[in-house]
Amino acid sequence: MSKETTGSTAVVPLTNGKRLLNELLESASALPARDSDLGDIQLGINEIRNRANKLRKSTKELESDGLTQAHYLLAGRVSIEEIESNIKYLERAKVLETRGKAQTHKGDLDSYLRSKKDENILSAIEQALGTAARDFDTFVNQNITLDWKQRREEVFASVLKRSLSHTDDQTKSKAKKPISWGKSFKLLDDSTSKLNVNENYLIRGKFERYAKIINRLNNHRQSLKLSTTVEDDFDLAKEFVEIFKNGSDNKSRQLFESWQIIGGLRDATSRPSDPQTFRSRIVSKAKTHLQLQFFEFVNNIYNTKVVEKGLPTIVNKIKSFIEYQKLNSNGNLLIVNGIPIWALIFYLLRAGCEKEALDLVLENQNIFKKVEQSFVPYFKAYVNSQDKRLPQDLITKIQNEFNNHIKKSVDGDPYRYAVYKILGRCQLSRRNISNIALTVEDWLWMHFMLVQDGPQSDFDPAHEKYTLVDFQQMILSYGPTKFTNNYLQVLLLSGLYDDASRYSTELNEMDGVHLSIGMAYYQLMQSSANDKAQLKERGDKFSKLLGTYIKSFKFSDPRIAVEYLVLICLFDNEASTCHDALKELILETREFSILLGKVNSAGVRVPGKIEQRKSLINLDKDFLHKVTEQAAITADKEGRVYDGLLLYQLAEEYQIVISIINRLLGEYLSNTELDQPLVEDGNTETNPILIAQNFLAVYQNVSVEKQVICKKLLKIAEIRQLYLEKDWDETLRRIEELDILPVSANSNLADTRLKAEELSYLDESLLKNIPNLLLIAMSCVSQRKEQINASAFNGLIKEEKTRELKFIAKNCVVFAGMVQYKMPRETFSLLINLEATL
């Protein structure tokens, strides 16, 4: 026996202590360990944090309770010091982990499942948000197509303000792309345009005044298409001349003269056999305009400035002009009987008075024989010539005479120099006359007198060739700075209609557009085209010009926009462009009733503005049908139900129309509160009930099945009205007639189940209204029961009627229970509450 300790402390043999400790270690080794063969559970960050907190708490509890049971060991005579020394060999961390694991093992599965559930919920929410974001991006990509490349080019063009070159080389180097209206109306929607017709009262008034003229123009054109009795042509130029004739500023004078020039060219628009013939007409018309303008100027001086007038003959008026200009003071002029004879001949030619000039020459031929003996035959041959060309033998003589005598004469009469230059087209390398003060108009006239663009000009020697094309190139090389406020008139007179259109638009967009319309109406731009490619290019430019112009008022005045767009067909090859433009106008403005028409209450189709002008644009019914159908599909996709309804009616797609009406009516009935009236006004264009009634009354050739659905929806509307009027019995009777709900007192459970099964075949429009019908039926039952209880019926009758009502209510609740997944939860709760009150 070992030695015992003193006192009350019991001594445990060492061998027993080791045995107990070994058993304790063996038991500990049997506990679950972290490095078991089981697979690891992948925990999230949040779950790891939660478990760490739990372990921390359990560890603290274990540490605080570690020595509370020590008295049991003392009572068993176990040596505390000896046990403590052995325990020091154990790993404290492992013991704590094992104890913690032993205590938490039981809840591991629940914690894991709970955490996985939370993670799944969060993952589902995150996935739903991602799906919604992708769907939104897809919607944006499909419905909001932005051509960023085009936008970038437009920004560059507006910032850099790139100038347009007039040279042929640059024109040829640039590839001309045709306008594609069907792809993008923005090809004609120039971002650099700053015109706003609604900017102020003055601009709006001017816009409306011009629009009225264009409307009258189209009316006249349409009358010519539809009737052969229209005799007078519409003088578009005269209409605008009347607007500007009283203007006193330079701009008004410029436009006044420009429209006069365009009006004077109207007779030249009959299609010539070749461009060269047309250029000859341009030269002839330009000379005539300048001569008439000069004679009017001379006449005005004669009437207002000259004191001693004498007889009002043409020669006397020209003499008065010469005296007024004080040309007699020029010492180099040849004076005959007090008259500068060469100046008088020159200005008679300038005024277009060739016959009077010839008479003057013949009267004074003795004088000319002394000066220039051969001048009289030259002048006589020139005046009598149809194309104002001398015979070749006379050309040779007059040019020799000019080269040998006249051009070398230092102190010679400058007007003799000018007259000889005109008659013989002498020294064309030097076309200007430096010794005579010429106005811009005089300078133009002088050059037109030298230009020869007839068939014979092809055979002229190089030094004698001076065509309209040469003159046009010279005009463009000078540019607007050379001619100040006359550049537009110069371009028009010289046949540069394309450049005149561009220049006038730069000065004022509204005036420039209408000048271009005038040139297109009189076929000036079309006839001056050299080939089909140039004609197509000009047609595209004209289309773009009109598309740009209507940009500022196509939404506010779509009717007027149509009037301008139909003018695109002034170019015969631009009909398809015009059709595409009108299509884009329809889709952008969405003014379907104005542009495409509408259907009145009698079902008669009222034509829209486009159809009214169809004779001007070669429009067939098939095109209108396609455009209308396309617009209807677009409106339907965008949720514009009433627009789609109108368009499908115009397209005569009545099966689609009644489907839309049923859908619209079903949504209207299901979304309107039960205590609200369904028909507040008589507008058949917005109220679905009135729309449906009117459609069924007018159109019979539609699907019978869809007609039945529509009629049932209208019956639901009648039931709603009876419910508002608190006619409970009639309301229940109408619901029973509807044959959708089991509201008959004779219905049994089998009938109720059958009604519930029939809902699977019910149209969606009717199905939406089942919850409201159930609420109406239960409310009617409840209200009717209260009436019976308050009535003077005897007890048996009350019991019988109450039993019937309760039976109906029970059927409704059972029916609702069978189909509750097809209705809102709150509706089912209301039905239960209503049944409970019974």
What's the rounded mean pLDDT across residues 345-364?
Answer: 93
Per-residue model confidence as pLDDT tens digits over 669-694: 988 888 888 887 666 678 899 889 88
Residue 620 DSSP symbol: -
Residue 567 DSSP symbol: G
Residues linked to residue 475 through DSSP beta bridges, in sequence order: none
Confidence of residue 599 (pLDDT cuts 50, 70, 90): confident
* pLDDT value at residue 113: 63
* pLDDT value at residue 526: 87
Above pLDDT 70, what percent of the chain?
75
Confidence of residue 527 (pLDDT cuts 50, 70, 90): confident
DSSP string computed for 773-812: HHHHHHHHHHHHHHHHHHS---HHHHHHHHHHHHHHHHHH
Q: Is residue 248 part of a domain?
A: no
* Domain C-terminal end among 93, 126, 157: 157
* Domain C-terminal end among 99, 123, 157: 157
Confidence of residue 96 (pLDDT cuts 50, 70, 90): very low
Q: Is the pLDDT of residue 126 over 80?
A: no
Instruction: Name which of 645, 751, 636 is nearest 699 in CA terms.
Output: 645
Confidence of residue 470 (pLDDT cuts 50, 70, 90): very high
Q: Is residue 391 part of a domain?
A: yes
Q: Is residue 124 part of a domain?
A: yes
Judge whether 452 and 479 are in contact, CB under 8 Å.
Answer: no
Instruction: Name which of 496, 500, 524 is nearest 511 in CA terms.
Output: 500
Q: Is residue 456 part of a domain?
A: yes
3-state secondary structure of 428: coil
What's the rounded mean pLDDT across residues 617-644?
Answer: 83
The Cα 438–Cα 346 span in angstroms is 12
What's the rounded mean pLDDT across residues 95-122?
Answer: 57
* pLDDT value at residue 821: 62
Residue 247 DSSP symbol: -
Task: Give the helix ranges, DSSP H, for 227-327.
Answer: 236-244, 250-264, 275-304, 314-324
Q: Is residue 329 part of a domain?
A: yes
Higher pLDDT, 355 or 66: 355
Q: Which range among 155-159, 217-221, 454-458 shows the weakest confidence by mean pLDDT?
A: 155-159
Instruction: Name which of 244, 192, 237 is nearest 217 in CA terms.
Output: 237
Residues linked to residue 335 through DSSP beta bridges, in sequence order: 340
Q: Is residue 229 part of a domain?
A: no
* pLDDT value at residue 428: 85
3-state secondary structure of 607: strand
Per-residue model confidence as pLDDT tens digits over 204-250: 999 999 999 999 999 999 988 887 665 567 899 999 999 998 888 88
Q: What are phi and psi of 335, to 5 degrees?
A: -100, 125
- Amino acid identity at 355: K
| Maximum pairwise Cα distance, the chain | 183
Q: Is residue 127 part of a domain?
A: yes
Residues counted in the chain = 838
Confidence of residue 509 (pLDDT cuts 50, 70, 90): very high
Burial 668-700 (b: 16+ CB within 10 A, else e): bbbeeeeeeebeeeeeeeebbbbbbbbbbeebe
The Cα 492–Cα 510 span in angstroms is 18
- Whole domain around residue 423: which residue ranges? 301-483
The Cα 71–Cα 148 span in angstroms is 88
Judge whether 452 and 389 are in contact, CB under 8 Å.
Answer: yes
* pLDDT value at residue 473: 94
* pLDDT value at residue 640: 83
Give 664's contacts (C-beta < 8 A, 6+ positions apart). Answer: 641, 645, 688, 691
The Cα 484–Cα 445 span in angstroms is 17
* pLDDT value at residue 601: 73
* pLDDT value at residue 292: 94
Q: Is the pLDDT of residue 359 over 90?
A: yes
Give 106's contacts (C-beta < 8 A, 6+ positions apart). Answer: none
Judge whether 441 and 293 are in contact, CB under 8 Å.
Answer: yes
Q: Is the pLDDT of residue 369 over 90?
A: no
The Cα 344–Cα 323 span in angstroms is 11
Residue 131's Cβ-count burial label (10 Å; 0-12, 13-18, 19+) is exposed
* pLDDT value at residue 25: 67
Q: Average per-residue pLDDT in the chain?
A: 79
Give 379's contacts (C-beta < 8 A, 6+ positions apart). Answer: 345, 357, 358, 361, 423
Judge whether 747 and 811 are in contact, CB under 8 Å.
Answer: yes
Q: Is residue 344 part of a domain?
A: yes
- What token pair was written down for 86? 């052995």
- Strand bridging mode 339-340 / 335-336: antiparallel
- Amino acid identity at 578: C
The Cα 604–Cα 698 span in angstroms is 9
Per-residue model confidence as pLDDT tens digits over 533-558: 989 999 999 999 999 999 989 999 99
Judge whether 625 and 651 are in contact, CB under 8 Å.
Answer: yes
* pLDDT value at residue 352: 93
The Cα 824–Cα 803 span in angstroms is 28
The Cα 295–Cα 196 span in angstroms is 41
* pLDDT value at residue 797: 74
* Domain C-terminal end among 445, 461, 483: 483
* pLDDT value at residue 123: 72
Q: Is the pLDDT of residue 833 over 50?
A: yes
Q: How many domains does the structure of the chain reveal?
A: 3
- What token pair was written down for 257? 């003269």
Most confident of 21-35, 104-118, 348-362, 630-644: 348-362
Give 659's contacts (C-beta < 8 A, 6+ positions apart). Answer: 706
Given the structure tokens 């005024």, which residue do they identify? 351
Confidence of residue 46 (pLDDT cuts 50, 70, 90): low
Higher pLDDT, 75 or 830: 830
Instruction: Name which of 405, 339, 330 is nearest 367 in CA terms.
Output: 339
Q: How far apart are the first and last CA of the chain?
A: 93
The Cα 468–Cα 738 span in angstroms is 86
Above pLDDT 90, what percent of the chain?
30
Per-residue model confidence as pLDDT tens digits over 275-331: 778 888 899 999 999 999 999 999 999 888 777 767 888 999 999 898 888 776 666
Q: Is 272 left (phi over 0), alpha (psi -120 to 50) or beta?
A: beta
* pLDDT value at residue 45: 67
Per-residue model confidence as pLDDT tens digits over 390-425: 888 898 899 888 888 887 776 788 899 999 999 988
Per-residue model confidence as pLDDT tens digits over 707-765: 999 999 999 999 999 999 989 889 999 998 988 888 887 777 888 888 888 888 889 99
* pLDDT value at residue 269: 52
* pLDDT value at residue 759: 84
Judge whether 717 and 689 are in contact, CB under 8 Å.
Answer: yes
Between vectors from CA 258 to CA 257 and to CA 263, what angle results, nearest 5°? 95
Give 701's contacts (C-beta < 8 A, 6+ positions apart). Answer: 654
Confidence of residue 39 (pLDDT cuts 50, 70, 90): very low
Per-residue model confidence as pLDDT tens digits over 476-507: 999 999 998 899 999 999 999 999 999 999 99
- What token pair was written down for 624? 């209108």
Q: Which run of H or of E encompasses 118?
A: helix 108-143
